[in-house]
Amino acid sequence: MTASFPPRLIIDDQKTMVILDTVVARELVDLEHCPAWVETFEKMTADGYSFSLADGTFIELVNQRSRGSITADQFQRMCTRLTQFLSTELPIAPGRRDLLGMLQQDGEPWSEQECRSISLDSWAELLRCADAGYTPGSTEHLLEEERNAWRAMLAGFQETVNTLKHSVQLRIEVLHALDEAGLLSAFDTLPDHEFLKALEAIHTLQASPSEEVLDLFKAVPNMALQKVFQSLEALSPQDLSGVLQLAHPYKDQKQHIDDNSKDPTDAWQAWTAQQVSWKVIGPKINVGVTKAFENSESAVFTMNMRSHLEVVYCWTRFSSMQKAKRAYDPTSKKSRNDGVDFDLYRFLKLPAFVVTLDKGFLEGLTDVNSYQANWFFRPQELADSWNAGITPEPRWPAVKDLSKR
């Protein structure tokens, strides 16, 4: 079942949108003879296809003209060829907020006319760049904003993971404190829900333990009891269920150490490190990421699901950052433009195909399990498909198929 989304603005839903990457536009600069796909794309515009340059492509092309890596004559050649098939309504695809506005998903006031004007003004700027007497200003700062946004997003994910790891460590400290105080073994006979109630009660009492409260624990050495209170103080009430979840693995590990370990301290440190390792934490976070695309109760295709590859690819990159060897480093020179490239994934939610020559998109997504992974085409491949009568079109899958992924 597919949701009934509001109609897409500017470019009618009945049209198939195609977004061009920078390397495709550059091919029109470098090739002396016009590629055959240009003529095919022109024919496709009469068959319900709408072609636009990505806004990042516009920024990169202006920047390349500004620093002289594309001459005015080359720019003229490129623009002449692009004019044959680019949309006259939306020659430059919009940025993030305007894209959501096109989909009627932006909660803030949004102007369709302003979005159209920005697109047409951007195209006019590209045409000015073909004038030998015109030198545009650098747009490097805009590219750097995209790079920084990518790095900041991954850094934010890392901060969330670090917070989760710290929370797990705090829960283990609570179990150690309860164990040393003899309270953990006292709770052994309690059902899980009673164990949790006992934790909640102690957590409430530790904030300001009265003499009466302390008297309840008179069998517990004062130093051990204070350690229990201190360890619980660092946790929020919502974290207590996590203590319960770790209680049984903790007891199993304690028994294992008692039976086998010559050095309990090292053994506990190794076990704690394992509990906060990516191997253990990663799958738990993955469950949350996956649930963003599941809606089994209504079986309705949601707006989140339109961003499937965008999120899955980001998650894949972030997971790669956690590797002990050859980890992905978003700050490295090799990864410098990953943020600029990542911006292309957001266009898939329109929906739209992306035309590129970048092997990272065309060959680098084979291990990414997303229905949108095959929405990237070489220009000639897309042209050949249409010439063969296939009429390619990006389609939303059934929810049941998406959930399997």
pLDDT given for residue 216 in this prediction = 59
Q: What is the mean pLDDT of residues 369-385?
A: 93
Residues 164/92, Cβ–Cβ less than 8 Å: no
Q: Is the pLDDT of residue 2 over 70?
A: no
3-state secondary structure 195-225: HHHHHHHHHHHHCCCCHHHHHHCCCCCHHHH
What is the rounded CA–CA span in Å between residue 176 and residue 238? 19
From 381, 169, 196, select the one nearest 268 (Cα to Cα).
169
pLDDT at 293 over 60: yes
Other CB atoms within a 10 A radius of the CB of residue 331 amount to: 10
Average pLDDT, the chain: 87
Whole-model pTM: value is: 0.85
- How does pLDDT run across 112-170, given as a tens digit for each residue? 999 999 999 999 999 999 999 998 999 999 999 999 999 999 999 999 899 999 999 99
Tell me how far CA of residue 263 lies from CA of 250, 260, 277, in angstroms.
Answer: 17, 9, 21
Q: What is the pLDDT of residues 243-253, one digit of tens each?
A: 888 988 998 89
- How far is residue 149's CA from residue 147's CA, in Å, rounded to a whole number? 5
pLDDT tens-digit series, residues 331-352: 999 998 888 888 999 999 999 9
Return the minimum-mean-pLDDT range out of 47-51, 239-243, 353-357.
239-243
Structure confidence at residue 398 (pLDDT): 75
**Closest to 347 (Cα-Cα) out of 102, 6, 82:** 102
pLDDT at 190 (0 to 100):
79
Judged by DSSP in three states, 282 sits in: helix
* 273 has pLDDT over 80: yes
More reliable by pLDDT, 238 or 19 = 19
- Across the range 238-245, mean pLDDT stands at 87
Contacts of residue 247, Cβ cutoff 8 Å, sequence gap at least 6: 175, 184, 195
Q: How many residues does the chain have?
A: 405
Sequence-distant (6+) residues with CB within 8 A of 365 are 309, 313, 373, 376
Q: What pLDDT does residue 3 have?
A: 57
Residues with Cβ within 8 Å of residue 287, at least 6 apart in sequence: none
Whose tokens are 């009627």? That residue is 104
pLDDT attached to residue 171: 92
Q: What are phi and psi of 51, to 5 degrees?
A: -105, 135
* pLDDT exceeds 50 at position 182: yes
Across the range 285-312, mean pLDDT stands at: 75
Helix (H, G, I), strand (E, B) or coil at 50: strand
Q: Is the pLDDT of residue 388 over 50?
A: yes
CA distances from 141 to 115, 148, 230, 297, 378 (A): 22, 10, 49, 45, 29
At CA 368, angle to CA 364 and CA 371, rounded to 5?
Answer: 115
Q: In this structure, what is the dihedral angle of CA atoms 191, 192, 198, 203, given to the nearest 10 degrees?
A: 170
Residue 403 above 60 pLDDT?
Answer: no
Can you give the C-alpha Rg of the chain in angstroms?
29
Distance CA 342, CA 169 (A): 34
Over the stretch 80-96, which tens digit does the pLDDT of each residue have?
A: 999 999 999 999 999 88
Query: Under 8 Å CB-to-CB from 393, ≥6 apart: which residues?
Result: 16
The answer to whether residue 219 scores a pLDDT higher than 80 is no
